[in-house]
Structure 1
Amino acid sequence: MSQYRDAAREIVEAIGGKENVSAATHCVTRLRFALIDEGKVDKEKLENIDLVKGSFSTNGQFQVVIGQGTVNKVYNEMAAETGIGEASKEDVKKASEAHLNPLQKAIKMLADIFIPILPAIVTAGLLMGINNLLTGPGIFFAKPLIEVYPQWADLSGIINLIANTAFTFLPGLIGWSAVKRFGGSPLLGIVLGLMLVHPELLSAWDIGKTKPDTWNIFGLTVQKVGYQGQVLPILAASYLLAKIEVFLTKRIPDAIQMLIVPPVTLLITGFAAFIVIGPITFAISNVLTGGVIWLFTHFAALGGLIYGGLYGVLVITGMHHTFLAVDLQLAAKGGTFLWPMLALSNIAQGSASLAMMLVAKDEKQKGLALTSAISAYLGVTEPAMFGVNLRYRFPFIAAIISSAIAGLVISVQGVKAFSIGVGGIPGFLSIDSHYWPAFFMGMAIVLVVPFVLTYILAKTRREKTV
């Protein structure tokens, strides 16, 4: 344990001492700090600590990459040795928000809503990919596997049902997370989300195919339309629900809150959702997704070049979370152009990190670069990006150039993902098998080009690489 104790002390010293920490917590791989003054951080000293794999600042938080299975041990020692008390992630978020501008706060809000539901969405995407292997023609045989082996058809059906659940009831997931983020009751958020996909409503998938029934409310005609796969309607409705609930809770006596607050909150929000919020946000969603589809239909090369190249930069700023909503909307309309480029960007960062493993002279850096590359190939790029590539800059540049080229290549060939799933090399499972040849061409680019570019740049640099 002395290794973790010493590391904890050194980390606290490097970030400016415990008096510079207003709140601290940790996630699966990183220590998260809300610092009073980030200017006091000695990054060189920090990143020379053996257990530290990198550090970065985003959304008002200073984060130190330690690694899964180790970070909690370091945090426990830090709390015991320095007196920095255990804080919840919410405490750190609130403390860090004081340093954010309005745009950063908006980005952080979306991240706070979508990150908690990502495990369900990613798992659903992975399972849909497995089902795609069973049902897609031309993968193993000319016919789908379940036609060659009919006894597997029911297995495929169950997998498909399990996989589709998260996307079918997506508003319920978002409602839970969004209402919780806005300060309301998460349970009411779930009810609100499920209300928007109630079986009595015409499914969003069938709009345009069937004329919806209507309600007549005092002369006002309201269509009975559901919002399956939609993001903006439930986000706006969740915000309204949370604010109404908080407003009523402060003014209704405790003894009768249960009888008044939830019913009134749901009634007001429900009417507003079906009469105003739903139709307006649904139209906005169609404009946004239609714009992305138009761009990739008419200027596919430009769209792929820009998004493929800039995705790594978006990750640094945290803005990549804002595109998750767009991905979900596109997937609901038949496929997303964006998710395949995310997967390729992950691989590019891993290849650049792998090249650094060969050219690094320090054994610690070699080990860090190798493990970070493997992590990026499996869809987790933080160790590679912040621990290796951004530290030396040129590997990161090589990675984004390569992912831009790959983005261009797959975009001009119309590659789409039918769902959001696992990034990195396993990302092909989210791609319709019809697009596999084009996607694997892009994958070859991000496996080879960033590796070669990084290796050449490292060898031609005059100064010491590491």
Structure 2
Amino acid sequence: MDLKKDAKQILEAIGGQENIAAATHCVTRLRLSLHDESKVDQEKLESIESVKGSFSTNGQFQIVIGQGTVEKMYKELNELGVGEATKDDVKAASSEKMNPLQRAIKTLADIFIPILPAIVTAGLLMGIYNIFSGTGIFFDEKSLIDVYPQWSDLANIINLIANTAFVFLPGLIGWSAVKKFGGNPLLGIVLGLMLVHPDLLNAWSYGEAVKEGSVPKWNLFGLEVEKIGYQGQVLPVLFASYILAKIDVFLRQRIPDSIQLLIVGPVALLVTGFITFIAIGPLMFGLGNLITDGLVSIFENFAALGGLIYGALYPVMVITGMHHTFLAVDIQLIGNTGTTFLWPILALSNISQGSAALGMMVATKDEKLRGLAGSSGVSAWLGITEPALFGVNLRYKFPFIAALVSSAVAALIITVQNVQASSIGVGGVPGIFSILPEDWLFFLVGMAIVIVLPFAATYLIAKGRKV
């Protein structure tokens, strides 16, 4: 492989150096912000030996090169005059081409993606705890720790470690959101932890306290403010973080550096704290409950239709980037109800896209396509679908349709059977560890559907078309 030659050809295929606003790379892909994507010669680009695929998403044009090789390719492009840039530079350049809705979705993605490793880790650990505590897995109507109580303390420690990210979720969101909005992320952590302070009534006990008339309150000069926490809530800390960041930036621009430490933090937190407990918290808490209650009601009354539609639309939302908004919805559902019925559908949808790509790998005689389909298919089974989706399935269309239909069918079945996840985990084959143990059987049925159907359909169509 002549990387120098390939770099020149890539540059020509994407419209030349003057068409590049910013360029960087990740583990496997070149990530470019182009002035005009219509100038890209897709056929010429795909014919280059080192290029395994390409796709456009969220204002970025990404070229799949491969792990290790992508760094060398990026250096070759730098030597040809393409300036080095950071991922933030490329994101900033890409965001200029987005409409308001795309910017809003990108903002949510930029807030939740940095904290995703903590949430996924917590989800996997909760899956391990579910194996210890779930009844009917190893013994009829008994859990592992019921039969072997000496393992209960170990299971409890695992559960404590797993639950930490969810118990203190507002702290994680506060850090990421305030950082995104331009404020001091350390103040964001304090804000988030303030909303789950142990002196506050736990949000999960709020409903019972309302029934009993025992909700604690502050009396602020005649104004009664409910003294409640916001455990597992997303909207209150998001809006409070925006207010905190704007106050922080406003004060830092006007107060001398010598006294900023004494004024900026205390004033920003005090003002934001009062606004949050008096207005933002109660309003967003109510809105969050309204959203989750509405979703639960729809899926309870129209389970089959809801599962079918969400299962079919999820891959389409990945194409537009809108799937990031449902991460917040999943977290809100878990915070309010303890489980989510949306995330299992996501996991099956990812597996379906991977199976379709693997069907292409087995059917095609094109060595380059076979390599891309194989690596991207396995990646999708492990929760990363973009390479399979944009590099293979959408490129040939019929694998994408096969995967979409299969995930819709599987989603219908698991939704009718009320399959629930206790947490957000890896959105692929390992996702079963986040499913409630009593729902494993029907989730495995769904997995069988999204493994077999898209693979078989893609294979047969590809063979018929001699791809």
Shorter-chain TM-score category?
A: over 0.9
Distance 2:71 2:208 in 1: 53
1:212 aligns with 2:215: yes
Alignment deviations for residues 13-63 of structure 1 (CA, whole Å, 9 cap, x no partner): 222122111111222332211111111111222222333332222222112
**Residues 53 and 372 in structure 2, CA contact (< 8 A), matched pair in contact too:** no
Distance 1:409 1:163 in 2: 29
**Residues 353 and 377 in structure 2, CA contact (< 8 A), matched pair in contact too:** yes
1:100 corresponding residue in structure 2: 98
Residue from 238, 245, 257 that aligns with 1:254: 257
1:432 aligns with 2:436: yes
Distance 1:73 1:167 in 2: 40
1:16 aligns with 2:19: no
Deviation of 1:350 (Å): 1.2
Cα RMSD (Å): 1.5
Normalised TM-score (structure 2): 0.95
Normalised TM-score (structure 1): 0.96
Question: What's the secondary structure of 1:25's corresponding residue?
Answer: strand
**5 Å matches for 1:56-71?**
56-71=55-70
**5 Å matches for 1:180-199?**
180-199=179-198
Q: Which moved more, 1:118-127 or 1:361-370?
A: 361-370
What is the percent sequence identity of the aligned residues? Answer: 68
Distance 1:309 1:216 in 2: 50
**Residues 52 and 368 in structure 2, CA contact (< 8 A), matched pair in contact too:** no
Residue from 440, 455, 458 that aligns with 1:454: 458
Question: What's the secondary structure of 2:164's corresponding residue?
Answer: helix
Question: What's the secondary structure of 1:207's corresponding residue?
Answer: helix
Question: What's the secondary structure of 1:251's corresponding residue?
Answer: coil
Distance 1:117 1:73 in 2: 30
Residue from 353, 357, 360 that aligns with 2:357: 353
Deviation of 1:370 (Å): 1.7
Aligned residue pairs total 461
Distance 1:374 1:58 in 2: 21
Letter in 2 for 1:457: I
**Residues 54 and 388 in structure 1, CA contact (< 8 A), matched pair in contact too:** yes
Distance 2:3 2:192 in 1: 44
Deviation of 1:4 (Å): 4.1
Q: In structure 2, do the counterparts of structure 1 residues 174 and 69 end up closer, same or farther at CA, with 3 Å as the change threshold? A: farther
Distance 1:78 1:232 in 2: 43
Letter in 2 for 1:354: L
**5 Å matches for 1:46-125?**
46-79=45-78, 81-125=79-123
Deviation of 1:199 (Å): 0.8
Alignment deviations for residues 120-142 of structure 1 (CA, whole Å, 9 cap, x no partner): 11111011101111111111223
1:413 aligns with 2:417: yes
**Residues 7 and 73 in structure 2, CA contact (< 8 A), matched pair in contact too:** yes
2:29 corresponding residue in structure 1: 30
**Residues 406 and 450 in structure 2, CA contact (< 8 A), matched pair in contact too:** yes
**Residues 53 and 383 in structure 1, CA contact (< 8 A), matched pair in contact too:** no
**Residues 171 and 192 in structure 2, CA contact (< 8 A), matched pair in contact too:** yes
**Structure 2, unpaired ranges of 5+:** none
Distance 1:270 1:312 in 2: 39
Distance 1:191 1:449 in 2: 49
1:297 corresponding residue in structure 2: 300
**Structure 1, unpaired ranges of 5+:** none
1:321 corresponding residue in structure 2: 324
Question: What's the secondary structure of 1:76's corresponding residue?
Answer: helix
Deviation of 1:84 (Å): 2.3
**Residues 364 and 463 in structure 2, CA contact (< 8 A), matched pair in contact too:** no
